[in-house]
Amino acid sequence: MLGHELQLAVRSFRRNRVLTLLMVLAIALGIGAAMTTLTVYTILAADPLPGRSQNLYIVHLDPQELVDYVPGEEPQDQLSRFDAEALLREKRESLGPDDVLEFTVRNVKHWSVVHPLLAHDQWSAAPDQLRFFTLDELGDLLEKVGLEGVEVETHDDPLPDELMPLVEVASAYGAEREETQLRLGAYEYTVVAKRA
């Protein structure tokens, strides 16, 4: 039976060579597409950092007392500098040589902080609380607790056109124009740090 089918295939190939070639090419492309899909699926389903994924820590802590605690409610954004140092020192001790610590900090120079302060004389943080840090303060804080910044990623909320005069004022007082515009647009920083 198989021999008869092969004879019919050879006769068809001799009669319609172009059509047979197109059929073989279509089957080959189908197999290639299926293998590519399976390969991509296998790669994307695998561990992205083999050997290191179990050592990554993303810290989300509420350092406040359990007074008025409501399960499922979000913690406050505010953290004093003293508390931040104590928390980072504690986390530093639990880091291994290849481990990293990732955390997000809001930028005190963002326009949403500077504008209400200048225009309405309002600052939302309590006197003993620091909710925001500049990038330089963050570097000093990491150095003080024995950590080293490995990577900094900014999450931007660009400066609106009507607040562009803030850049002009800062430039008039000696600040670099482009860097000022970038700092005013950086809403928060995501920092990856390791032991120094």
Q: What predicted TM-score, i.e. pTM, was given to this entire model? A: 0.50
What is residue 139's predicted lDDT score, i.e. its pLDDT?
83
pLDDT digits (tens, 9 = 90+) for 36-72: 999 999 988 888 777 777 777 666 566 566 666 677 7
Alpha carbon distances (Å) from 49 to 30, 39, 56, 156, 189: 32, 18, 10, 27, 23
Contact 193, 144 (CB under 8 A): no
The residue extents of the domains of the chain are 2-45, 53-195
Report the alpha-carbon distance of residue 15 to residue 50 in Å, rounded.
55
Question: Which residue, among 110, 100, 92, has the nearest Cα to 182 in the 3D structure?
Answer: 110
Report the alpha-carbon distance of residue 158 to residue 66 in Å, rounded.
37
Query: Is CATH 3.40.50.150 what the domain over 53-195 is classified as, yes or no?
Result: yes
Kindly tell me if the per-residue pLDDT of 85 is higher than 60: yes
Strands 147-156 and 186-195: antiparallel
